[in-house]
Structure formats: C-alpha cells, structure tokens
Amino acid sequence: MTDFLWLVVLLPLVGAAVNLIFGKRIGEPFAGWLGFVVVASSFVIAAIPAYDVIAGTAEPVTVHLFSWIPVLGVEAEILWDPLSVLLTLIVTGVGSLIHLYSIGYMHGDERFPRFFAYLNLFIASMLILVLAANYAVMFVGWELVGLSSYLLISFWFTKPEAAAAGKKAFVVNRIGDWGFLIAMMLIFAAFGTFDFHTIFATAEGVLSVGMATAITLLLFVAAAGKSAQIPLYVWLPDAMEGPTPVSALIHAATMVTAGVFMMARSAVLFEMAPVSGAVVATVGVLTALLAAVIAVAQTDIKRVLAYSTISQLGYMVLAVGVGAYSAGVFHLTTHAFFKALLFLGAGSVIHAMANEQSMLKMGGLRKVLPVTFATMGVAWLAISGIFPFSGFWSKDEILAATFAKGGAWLLLYGLGLLVAILTAFYMTRLFVLTFLGGRRWDEGVHPHESPASMTIPLVILAVFSFGFGFVNTPMRLGFEHFLEPAFHGVPHPDALDDSVIWTLAIVALVSAVVGIALAWRRYNRDELPAENTGWWSSAMAGFHVDEWYGRLFVLPGKRGAELAGQMDAKGIDGVAHGIARGVREAGTALQPVQSGKVRGYAGLLAAAGVVLIVAIVVIGGGF
Amino acid sequence: MANGSLLAVGFEVVLLVGALVVLLVAVVAERRRQVWGPVVGITFLLAAAVGLWQWMTVQDGGGGLFFSMSDLAILRSPMVVMDGFSAFAAMVLGLVGFVAFLGSWDLQARLGKRAVEFSALMLLGVAGLHMMAGTPNLVVIFIGLETASIAFYVLAGFTRTVKGSDEAAFKYFLLGSLASALFLYGVALTFASTGSLTIYGADSIRNFFNLELVTEPGILLVGMGLMLVGLMFKISAAPFHQWAPDVYQGAPSGAVGLMAAGVKVAGFAAIGRIFVAGFISQIDAWAPIVATIAAISMVVGTVMALVQTDIKRLLAYSGVAHAGYLLTTIVAGADGLPPMWFYVGTYAFMIVGAFTVVSVVNGPGSADSSLDSFKGLARRNPEMAWLMAILMLGMSGMPFFAGFVGKAFAFVTVADAGYLWLVVLGTLTTVIGLAFYLKVVSTMFTDAERVEPVEASMPARFAVVIASVVTLVFGVVPWPLLDVVANAFPF
Amino acid sequence: MPLLSILIAIPFLGALIVALLPKKRPELVLPVGLGVSIAPLAVAVWLTAEFAVGDPSFQFGELFVISDVFGVSWRLGVDGISLFMVGLTALLFPIAIAASRSVTDRAKTYMALMLILEGAVFGVFLALDLLVFFAFFEIVLIPMYLLIRIWGSGNRVYASIKFVLFTAVGSAFLLAGIIALGILAGDTAGSLSAFDLPNVLAVELSETTQLWLFLAFGIAFAIKIPLFPFHTWLPDAHTEAPTAGSVILAGVLLKLGTYGLLRFNLTLFPDAAVDLAPYIAALGVVGIVYGAAAAIVQPDIKRLVAYSSVSHMGFIVLGTFAFTTQALQGSVFTMISHGLTTGALFLLIGMIYDRTHTRAIADYGGLAKVMPVYAGIFLFSAFASAGLPGLSGFIGEFTVLIGSYMTLPVLAIVAGSGVILAAIYLLWAYERMFMGPVNSKIEGLKDLGFRELAIMIPLIVLILGLGVYPKPVMERIEPSVNVILDRIESATEFDVPEYGREPAPTIEIDHSDDGHSDEEGDH
C-alpha cells in the first residue's frame, strides 16, 4: 500500500502549480476547492497505508523514488515509519481542515487562488520534511517550508509590516539553517551519508561523545529557528501579519513543530549527548517561561496565541531535552489540534469583528458566536491543562519526565509548573476578554457567526482537542509504544511509581486551576484593570528584544556592510586608480623632455649615445 | 650568374626605372594624375613581384652574393646579397609602398602638380630602404640609409604651407644627419678594428672573428655602439626617439605612414643583418644593451602614448613601444629573426593603414590632428571607424589580429633566450598599451557635435582595407606567413 | 566531422552574415541573429546526448598543427566540465539575444559582436592548446568591451575600460606564464616551445617553477572570476552593460576564470595548487561574505546582483580548492547554476529597466501588485540564487559545502553563512521593490508579455529541473573531475579524504585544513 506514497507529496505540488499558473482562470471558489481536494486526497492516500502501521501490522519501510545527488549518495526516498505516519496525518488532516476553513475566510480576496497555491506548496514542503529518509531531503522540506511561510506571512504584501515580517521570518530561520548545514557537514564527514537508517544504526560506533554533542547542538540551533526558541523566536510574533488560517496551519500546528520533529527524529544522536540534552531542556523551559510572561501582557488576540505557541514549543523542546521524545511528539500532536483550533477560532472572531484584533475591543461575544465560543472553550481548557482534555495528558507527561530526572532538573520542573500556571492565566484572560463580560465593540461592528465552511473545521478540531489525550495516558501508553520503532531503541525515560505520577498530575491540575482562577477573578468584570504601565507595557513590547537585536546585531551588521561597500570604492579601487594615475603622471612628467627644441634632442641623443657606448664597451670587456 | 645578378638588384632597378618613367609620363600627360598615378602603383607592385621572384629563386637555392669587379672579389667582398632576408624585405617593402601610395592619394590631390615629385620620391625612398636589407656591405647600408632618409626629409616637409611641416622636416633633417654621421663613424671604427666593411665573404667581419682571437675589442665595441645608436635613432627606439613625435605630427599625414613603416622594416633588416648575421659572436656584448633599450622603449613609448591627446603623436609613441617589442626579438639572436619579420611585416601595414585613416579624418596635409577629431567617427564614417578599430586592436596585440601572433612569438623566442623579464615587462606594457588603443576606439564611438560624414577616397579606403585584411588574416591564419618567415634568414 | 570547430565557426560566420544584411532591413537582424545562435545550441544538445557517460577523456577531439616550430596546435575536445560550459554558453546566448529587442541603435553591429563573443567563448572552453586558449580568452574582452562601451548606460566609458584593463592585467601574467611553460615544454617535446596540452602535461616542473607559474595563471583567472580583492571591476561592468551584456558577463564570462583554474592550475601545477589551496579558498570565502555584505547596501538592483555574483563565485573557488570529488563536482555544478540564476536575474532587471529606465531600488515599491507575473518569476530567480533547495543553486553550493568540510572545515563553516546573507540581500531588495504600497511612478506598468515569458521559461525549467534531478549533469561531470583529483593525488603527497571511512575530525582538531589528511598523525 505504500506504492502510492509519492502521490501524497506530488498532489499538493500539482495543486500548487495549477493554482499558480491557472488560478486566475479557475477563480473563486473553485481554486480553493481544488486546494482542499488535493490535500484531502493526500490525507486519504496516506491514511490507507497508515492504518497498517497504526494497527501494528506493518514494519517501517523506505520507498525509493529516484537518485537525487549521486555524489553525496543522497536518494530521494520516503521513510514510512510511525513518526512520519503521525506527522503526515497531522499535516494533511489539520491541513485539509484549514484549507476548508480558508475557503470561507479568504472569501473576496483578490489573490484568492494564489493563497491556495501557497497553502498547497506549504503542505507539500511539510510532507517532504516529515517523509524524508535522510537529512538532505529533510533539509529540502525544511527550507521549502521556510519559503512557503515567507510567501504566506507576506501574503498581504502591500502592508509594509507584512512584507517585513515575511522577510524577518525567513532570515531568522536561515540563521538556524546555517546550524543545520554545519551539522550536515559534520554528519557527512563522519558517516559519509545522510541516510537516517545508516546513521542511527551505526552512530554508536562512529561518533565520539564530543562529535555527537556538536552535531546535536547544531541541530538544535536549526530547531531553535524553526520552532521559535530563544534566541531565534523573534520572528514568530511578527508572523501574525499573515492571514489567520496561515497562523493556524503554519505558525501553530505544523511548521513550527518541525524543529521538535527533527530533534525527535535524531533521538539516537541526542541520546548520545547528555550535555546537549541539558542545553536543549534549559533553553526550552526558559523559552516557555519568557513567552508565557509576554503572552500575559498582550492585548492583540493573535499575539497572545503567538507567544502561547512559542511557550508550548518550549515545552516540547524541554521534552526532547529530557529524553522524553514520545512525550514531546505527543504534546506536538495535541498542541496541533488545540492551537489550530484556537487560531481558527480567533480567526472566526476577527472575521466577525471586521478585522479587529484587540481583545480590549471585544467582550461578550459568547452569544453572537456560539459555535466559536463553545469550540474555543474546549481549546482553552485543553491548553490550560484541565483534566481530561488532551493538553492535560501531554503536558503532564513532559513535566513528569522532567521530574523523573531528579537533581538539578527539578528546577526545570519547577519552572515548567510555573509556566503551566501562567498558561492557564493568559488563556483565561484571552477567553474572558473575548467572550465574556460586556461589549466593548467599536461603533458599527455587527459580529455574526462564521459560515459552515469555517465552523465545521472548528468542531472537528474541538473533538480532537478534547479526546486525543486518551491515546496516551499513564494507564495506557499506546502512543509511546506506537512511536517506539521510530526511535531506534532509544530507551524510555525512567518510569516513576504510580503514586508519584498521580501526585504530579494532581499538582499540575491544581496549578492550572490556580491560573484560571486568578485570571477569572481579575478579568471577569466590567471594569478592566489598567495594564499599560510599568511592567505591563514592558512585557507588552516583548521586553524590547527586537530593539536590542537591532542595536546589537542588525545595526553593526549594516555598518559592516556599508564599510564593505565603501572599501571597494576607496580601498581596492583606490589602489587601482592610484596605479593608473601613477602611470599617467609618469607620462606627464616626461612630457617636458619633449621640448620640441632640436638642441635639446641632439643633446639627449648624444648623452644617451655616450651611455650606450660606455655600456657596450664595459659589457664587451673593452677595458 | 649575370641573370641572377640582375635579379639581385631587380627591386631597386624596378623602382628607379619606375621613378623615371613616372616623371616622364607626367611630363607627357601634363601631370594628369589619372595617367601617371597607376604607373606608380604598378611600379610598387612590380617591385613586390620581383621580391617574390627573388624569394622563389632563393628557396630553390639560387640565392647568393653578387656584384663586384670580379668573381673573386665577390667571394672576398660582395656588394649585394640575395637571400631569404632581402627577398622577404623586398616583398614587404614593395607592398607597403603600394599601400602607402594608395594612402597618400588624397595628399597628392592637394599637392597638385607637385604630386609627381612626391610619388617619385616615395619610389626612390623605398629603393633606398631595400638597399639596407639587400647588402652585406656596411657602406652600402649607409648609402641606402641616406637615400631613404633624404627622400623622407623632403617628404616630411612637402606641405610647407602647413604650419609645422617645415619645422618637422628641418628637425628630422638635422637630427637624422647627426644619427647618420654617428652610424658612419661606427662603420669607420669597425673597419679600423677588423679591416672589413662586409658581413659575408672571405674578408668579412664574420671571418675576422672566426679566425682571430679578439684581445682588444675596445675600438670595435665603440664602433658597434655608434652603429647601434644610429640605427636606434632610425627605428625610433627610446631614448633616441624624440624626433619621432614632432616629425610625425608635423609631416603630412599622407606621408608619415611610409616613413614610419618603411624605416622600421629597413631599420630592423639592417639591425638583423649587421648584428645578428655580422656580430653574432659578440652577442654577449650587445644583447644586454639591446634588451635594455627594448625595455626602455616599451615603457617610455607606452607611458607617453597614454598621455597624448594628438593621434599622430600617439601613434609615434606607440611606434616607440613597437620598436621595443621588435628589439626583444633581436636579443634572441638568429631565433628571433622569424618573429621579427612577422612582427615588422604586419606592423608596417597597420601603421600605414592607421596614418591613412588619420589623413582621411583630418585631411591629408594636416599637421594638427587631435584625438578629438575622431569623435563620432563611428557615425560619420562607420567603415573607417571599424577598420581603424581593427588596426588599433592589431597594434595592441589582441589575439586573432596579426599583432598578437607577432608579439606572442617574439616573446616565446625571447623567453627561450633567457630574457623572461623582458617578456613580463612586454606583456605588462601591452596591457597599458591597450588603454590608449582602446581610447582611440572609444573616442570613435563617442558621439560628437559634428555629424557631417567623413568622405574617404577610393584609393584611401582601399589602402585601409588592405592593411586591415593583412592584420586580420595573419591573425587568424598565421601559419602560412609563419612558414614563410621561418625561411627569411640571412645568408 | 569536425563538430567542435563547426561549433566555434557558426557564430563567427553568423556575425559575418549579420554584418552583410541589407542596411534597409533592420528588422531582419534579430531573427537572423537568433537563428544563428540557436544552431550552436542544437549542436551542444547533440554533444550532451552523444557524450559518453563515465568516460573521463576528452571527447569529439580534433587536432591540426598550426606551427611545428612553436608547437602550437588547434586541439579541441570536450570533457564533462567543458561540456556543460559549452551548453551554458549555447543556451544563454540565444536567450540574451532574444532579450535584446530594445537595442535599435546600430543593431547590426550589436548582433555581430554578440555572435563574435559567443564564438570566442566556445573557443575558450574547447581549446586544449594553451596559446589558442589564451587567444580566445583574451579576445573575449573586445566584443564585451564594445558592447559595454557603445550600448552601456551612464558611466559606460569608465566601466568598459576598467573591465578591459583589470582583466588584461591578469592576461599579461597569463601570457607570460604560458610562454614560460611552453618553453619548458618545448625542451621535452623537442621544439622551440610546445603549448599543446598533452605536451604541457608531460613536463616535470620543480616546486618553485610550479609556484610562479601557478601565480601567473592564477592571477589572470582570479581577476576574471573575480576573486576578492580583484572584484571591483565587476560591479561597474555589470551595472553599465546592456542587459544581454550583463547576462553573458555573469552567466558565461566569469566562468572562464573558474574553468581556467580547474583545467589548468589544478592539473598543470598540482604541488603549488595543494600548497596554496587554503589561501585561495580563504579568499574565496572572504569573497562570499564580503560580496554578500556589499550587496546588502547597494542602492542599485543591478549592482546588488553583481555583488551577489562575487559571493557565488566564492563558493566555486572554495569548492575548486577543497580537492574532494564532492566539492569539485559542486563547483562545476555551481558554475552552471549561477549562469542560469544570475542570468535570469539580469534578464528580469533588463525587462523592468526597459519599462522604467531606472535601476534604483528606491524608485520601485509594490511592484508585485502592478506586475504579479514578473514578481513571481523574480522571486523564483531570487530564491534560486539564494540557494533554495529544489532549485539548481542549492545542489551546487550544498555539494561544495559538504565536500569542502573534510579538507577545509573552518572555511566551509564560514562559507555556510552565505546562505543567511543571500537571504538578507535578496529578500530585502525584493521587499523594497516589490512589496509595500505601490509607488506612484510605476503605476500602470505592463506585466510580462509573451515574448518575455518565452525568454524566461527555458531558464525557469532548467533551474527547477536541475534542482530536482541533477543526476544527468552530475554523472557527466564526475569522471572528469576525478581525473583532476587523480592527477593531484599521484603528483603530490595529498590524499583525497574519504568520507565516513575514518573517524571524523573532532571539533578541536582544526589543522586538517593544511590540505593534508592527518590520518597518519592521529594514530
């Protein structure tokens, strides 16, 4: 059944090409339907062979397509193992829902077909990334994802902010890619191949610990770019300039998880490098904390979600750092559902509010947007970690795994717990400010529930956001066992006693409840607290990290570039012009000798003749 | 032997007879140019044909030494030599003379009735030039030198009405006489030290060196030095070049081509004959000197040409540089002669062509010919502009133009002789040279206020076309000429 | 059939035909020129198809002795490297000519010069005699000079002469070096000199001689490439040249330098090459960073792309001197790819210049709204140039980087930063020109027409095709590249490291960049 897997990648590519070239003629809404159909077909084509894998009746396989870069031994191959199966289903599944949603959301946009072309391209890129059987092909997907993200963020390019945000996303991602590139240099030098199977099977014998540390740290740099970790997270909040479905699909559910996915894929290497694990975990938890703190102060509904995404990605990275790869991937999955849901819900709200994004101007939308309200409620509880919503299970597992490592890791656990409180706090703040309380709408805004093409995806996602957690509970680790073949024998984190597990779960639940309660008390009233001074405004501005980056890196970089530009004109060309001038001046200096006076010429002729004769006599030995 | 003897001096005879015929015809035809003009052209072509005949005879083994009172005297001290060297010089000089004559057609139109004398002097001058190449006798070389020089002194001053022409002729005469005197003094000292005036034969200088062990070379070296100074002056090698820019600028454009080209050909023939054939055993003494002069000429010629704003002065200085490149071949001794012939043979056409273009653009008698006058030529007369571009690229030593082939093989032989530094210097000055040759090209493509077309007469166009064709053909297909010059050896 | 001679001859004859076209029918010039330039393309395609894959020797060889005495021959042949250089040339010329419709002043001359240029470039890539190679190498200057001088923009007089003088200075050393080498070869070959490649390859050179000759050859090629710090002629020449001139300059002429290094410096002077490799590669890497940095601040889009060329050529140099089969193949591939992508960018800039007559980035803004198709193709080309995987630029630069790491790890890592800088300069320029509010000056511009699309499509197809399936190219390059490596290995102490067969260098050991494998030293 894996014979047709290549179609999974090809279909969205074809969809993208068709919409790109003929989109104008196809027009709205058929261009959108075309985009939806190709992705949905991909989902179906992938789902059939996936069933065997999920049922446990199929071994992981590699499907050879063609030879790509012979000299590097890079084959274009599809790796069909549990990890890629899972991600493929998420990407095509959530992807098709978002396509469907976009048909309604993008209604009336003059570049409607172009949008679906880009969305299709993104799906294809993401599929290349997750289905790759070696690092080189993965890098192709990795970069193409960056490209599609660039195209989609700056989709409304006439807005200077959107244009700048797209560029920023791509450039920051490329900084991470540099790490990926160097990691690949080291990998190829060590293994002579990029093939996952060979690398993971032989890593133990080939790599020293130092080498493994270097490679994994570099891979982490790459992951930090894509999965928006400190210090490379700065592009993600700006990426909210893109249309909301884009934020849902790319900057919540799929692309940003690529880093986590890639690290999980490289679990064997990370397992060999404990130092990297510590670094990764620390950065992860710090990112989670910083982003959560910033999220608390945001007033733009999409920016809250953006920082929330960074924060949740921090959790996933933490999971990788502590060696709980399947927990990380589990959170990735649940997060894909509830964060996509949150974004789409937010989109629905923004759509209803005539593109108003400030939560301070919302409130009381519960009645006018009942479906959005209900589905977002599910997502709210899921991300806050309320039992038995999916987020509870996945977040709990990460925290438990961190706790299980003991020692200094307990500090990370404590921070993780703090983030859980903050998460519940800011999500409640968002939920309350948007849907509850009084109406703070601008004049002339008449919100209304979105069309079915938008609400159906919300409902489906809500179902998953609620129930997906049950695939992996402490009672039944189905998900973990399912993923096992993908990790090439990397051991599970230390198991804890049942009693400890349940205690930790209750602690986590209590923190969530505390967070919700605090926020509920603070915001569920008519008079909102003033949050525009001091600490709040600083957090609101993301602690001015962008400005600091500008001062520390961008400005000196610009100066350096200008210097390079000037050095050409003054330095190198200066020398060249100097030589030219020198030759010229030599000529001019000799001009006076050319006086035109016969006497002078005769004199010089005689003098030169004398010199010549003396010379010839001396050389010839005449003396 | 008698037939052979006549053939050996055939080139000079044809030209002298031609000169007389032209004068006569002109008298009969009331100086109508349409009548006597073709006679001049035919004479030059006939002379070239004689050169070819000589060449073929020599290749068949019919060359040799000629002219003295008796066979024995010929063996001891011949006056004329017919070998590949002189025959090739004859072919080149005949053709160059022909092209130069075509190029001076416009000038002759201006000269009116005096044009006949002008043409006759051209014929006589070329005859003198070949005398320098076709004799082993130092005194005959001097006579040829003077014959040619006197003709050219007159040609330089032929347009006395034009400001500068007079001055140019006078300057040329004074300095040229000084150089001739030095040369003659060198001949005398050579005779004093070796007892011989000839290069071949039983009493020759070569034999002197073969037979005697030279212990006191002082006088001989001074003699060689003096001859060298005289010849360096004629070929305008630096630092003996100062007359050239002034004279080239002052003399009528239509006449400068022949002066520049012919003297280079004959001058190098004489240098080759005297130093490479005659004083080859003294090469260690003169080669470093010649190499130094070559280097100075390349540098001075190039650098000075760079700052010129007058096209004729520019070409004069470029001629100084070319003298330098040519001298490098002499340094290589006998190996250098084939590249020398290739170089000077093709360069002669280029320079004649270039001065013809100057005469077309600025008027044939003009003394002043600023580079600016070439502005917009590409629009005013595209044909002339492109042909001039070909000539400039040829002189600059661009590949696929004859200048490159000559230069490349000159450098190869010089490098083989161990003078790699000369090669490096040569290639570098070639680059700087590119700057001013391209300046000429660039000027032609600069749009000017003057847009009226530049008219070129048929003969002038023909002259430039021939020069350009030679430049191009021997650049692309050099091997026939390479095979020829490989045999253009002195006896 | 002397196929290669015919290949060289076609454009020259075509130039003659164009020159002889009747003056009163200027409309004939473009079709005739285009027709003539398509013929070599057909020949090149045929050559590529008939080329024996896996055969490392020179194929379709021809030999005619020009001069016995001087040892000069008309020896032609193609191997896997020159095959694609010829192909690139044959492809870019028709495209550049087709894009020259806006040249109406002296169109005949223009067309003739373009064709002469094409023939000369074929000559460079096919000649296997040093002197003939030099002749073609040098003559390329003249048509290019005239193209810039006559049809260039504003500062053309300065730019054209700067172009010629910079490159000619290099040629001076090259000629001196060739002559010196020819003299040495003549001793072995029994003639005054010998310039034929087999003869020249047979010469045993001392290390000192190699070093000097390497430098003589190297400086000429370094200027042509151009390698930092000899690159300053390039921005001026590119900027002032007419569109077709820029396309050819960037697409083809710069490759003459890298081709020369690969063909001559590496094989003729292997000892010197191994000794100097780290330094030259370092200059290449400086070029990568420096060119990219300078590109960022250029206010003129054409200049920006010109500086990006400096950066890309650095990758080629790095790969050339890394001495691994991966890096060398990557170098050759980058040569091809850079020709396509930069060619595409210059064509696109030309198309917009024809409409607005300005190259200043600041004069644009919101162009993507006015000319969406144009914007799409521009972005495609920009990303191809920035090395986006799936497009041709990536294959070459990626292979170079991976291949260089083994011998020059530090340089490879620094070179990798080029990917960031490329993204910055290209996307920033794109942002300023194509995004944001529509600049009132450019409102109502027409999007690309059919003719312009037809010009771009072959390039787009090739960029994409080579990016997805580079194997047909790679497998033809490989044997020829390995010949060069074999020669270096057999002539010097250097061993080409094998990937994955030995413990990878750890991060602490950096001195493996001295060009020698430290396999012995580590155990």
Residue showing tokens 């570098």: B428
Residues 6+ apart with CB under 8 A from A116: A15, A19, A23, A31, A32, A34, A35, A36, A99, A102
Please name the residue of chain C whose CA is at the shortest distance from the CA of residue B441.
Answer: C146
Average pLDDT, rounded, for chain C: 89
**Confidence band (pLDDT; 50, 70, 90) for C519?**
very low
In the three-class reduction of DSSP (H, G, I as helix; E, B as strand; rest coil), residue B478 is classed as coil
Chain C neighbors (3+ CB pairs < 8 Å): A, B
For residue C235, pLDDT beyond 60:
yes
d(CA B66, CA B179): 29
Chain B interface test: which of C183, C208, C213 (most B C-beta within 10 Å): C183
- Residue C67 inside a domain? The answer is no
- Omega of the bond prior to C299 within 30 degrees of 0, cis? no
Q: C-alpha distances in angstroms, C34 versus A345, C24, C95, C148?
A: 58, 19, 8, 20
pLDDT tens per residue, range B220-242: 899 999 999 999 999 999 889 98
Q: Does C232 touch chain A (CB under 8 A)?
A: yes
Residues C431-468 as b/e (b if ≥16 CB within 10 A, e otherwise) read bbbbbbebbeebeeeeebeeebeebbebbbebbeebbb
pLDDT at A89: 92
Give the mean pLDDT of C227-245: 91
pLDDT at C522: 40
For residue C502, pLDDT beyond 60:
no
Residues 6+ apart with CB under 8 A from B439: B371, C161
Q: Does A20 touch chain C (CB under 8 A)?
A: yes
Give the mean pLDDT of A228-234: 90
Chain A neighbors (3+ CB pairs < 8 Å): B, C
DSSP A134: B
**Confidence band (pLDDT; 50, 70, 90) for B53?**
very high
**8 Å CB contact of A178 and C296:** no
Tell me how many domains chain C contains. 1
For residue A623, pLDDT beyond 70:
no
Average pLDDT, rounded, for chain B: 89
Counting residues of chain A whose pLDDT is more than 90, the rounded percentage is 45
Could you please report the per-residue DSSP string of C432-447?
HHHSSSPPGGGTT---
Give the pair of three-digit tokens for residue B66: 């000629």
Q: Which of C131, C145, C183 sits opposite B416 (nearest CB)?
A: C183
For residue C506, pLDDT beyond 80:
no
pLDDT tens per residue, range A235-264: 998 888 889 888 888 888 888 899 999 999
Phi/psi region, residue A258 (left: phi>0; alpha: psi -120 to 50; beta: rest), is alpha
pLDDT tens per residue, range A295-323: 998 888 999 999 999 999 999 999 999 98
Counting residues of chain C whose pLDDT is more than 70, the rounded percentage is 96
pLDDT at A1: 64
Chain B neighbors (3+ CB pairs < 8 Å): A, C
ipTM: 0.90
C211 vs C441, higher pLDDT: C211
Give the mean pLDDT of C1-27: 91
- The four Cα atoms B385, B388, B392, B398 give a dihedral, to 10 degrees, of 80
For residue B143, pLDDT beyond 70:
yes
Could you please report the per-residue DSSP string of C392-435?
HHHHHHHHHHHHHHTT-HHHHHHHHTHHHHHHHHHHHHHHHHHS
DSSP A542: G
pLDDT tens per residue, range C279-316: 999 999 999 999 999 999 999 999 999 999 999 999 99
Give the pair of three-digit tokens for residue A601: 């010429």
pLDDT tens per residue, range C419-436: 889 999 999 999 999 999
Residues in chain C within 8 Å Cβ distance of A550 = none
Chain A interface test: which of C236, C428, C431 (most A C-beta within 10 Å): C431
- Residue C186 inside a domain? The answer is no
- The four Cα atoms A479, A481, A482, A484 give a dihedral, to 10 degrees, of 120
For residue C508, pLDDT beyond 60:
no
d(CA A152, CA A99): 13
Residues in chain C within 8 Å Cβ distance of A160 = 435-437
- Residue C373 inside a domain? The answer is yes
Give the mean pLDDT of C94-98: 94
Q: Domain limits at B135?
A: 2-486
Q: Is A428:A524 a contact under the CB 8 Å cutoff?
A: no
For residue B214, pLDDT beyond 80:
no
Three-state SS letters, C115-144: HHHHHHHHHHHHECEHHHHHHHHHHCHHHH
- Residue C95 inside a domain? The answer is no
Chain B interface test: which of C18, C20, C68, C69 (most B C-beta within 10 Å): C69
Q: A110 — phi, psi (to 5°)?
A: -70, -20
Tell me how many domains chain B contains. 1
Residues in chain C within 8 Å Cβ distance of A174 = 419-420, 423
Q: Domain limits at C425?
A: 269-499
pLDDT tens per residue, range B421-443: 999 999 999 999 999 999 999 99
- Residue C161 inside a domain? The answer is no
pLDDT at C38: 93
Q: C-alpha distances in angstroms, A209 versus A214, A220, C186, C499, C512?
A: 9, 16, 57, 19, 20
- Residue C28 inside a domain? The answer is no
- Residue B491 inside a domain? The answer is no
Contact pairs from chain B to chain C, CB under 8 Å: 89
β-pair type (B64-66, A74-80): unpaired
Q: Which of C136, C138, C179 sits opposite B411 (nearest CB)?
A: C179
**Confidence band (pLDDT; 50, 70, 90) for B69?**
low
Average pLDDT, rounded, for chain A: 88
**Confidence band (pLDDT; 50, 70, 90) for C511?**
very low
pLDDT at B294: 96
Give the mean pLDDT of A196-209: 89
Which range is least confidently modeled, A229-238, A520-529, C172-181? A520-529
Which residues, numbered 189 to 248 in chain A, qualify as contacts with chain C under a Cβ-Cβ cut-off of 8 Å?
Answer: 189-193, 206-208, 210-211, 214
Distance from CA of B245 to the nearest CA of A (A): 9
**Confidence band (pLDDT; 50, 70, 90) for C9?**
very high
pLDDT tens per residue, range A404-444: 888 888 999 999 999 999 999 999 999 998 888 888 888 77
- Residue C224 inside a domain? The answer is no
- Residue C372 inside a domain? The answer is yes
- Residue B109 inside a domain? The answer is yes
pLDDT at A515: 92
**Confidence band (pLDDT; 50, 70, 90) for C514?**
very low
pLDDT at B3: 46
Please name the residue of chain C whose CA is at the shortest distance from the CA of residue A573.
Answer: C232
**8 Å CB contact of A605 and B242:** yes
How many residues in total does chain A contain? Answer: 623
pLDDT tens per residue, range B295-336: 999 999 999 999 999 999 999 999 999 999 999 999 998 889
| Range among A23-32, A115-124, A366-375 with highest mean pLDDT value | A115-124
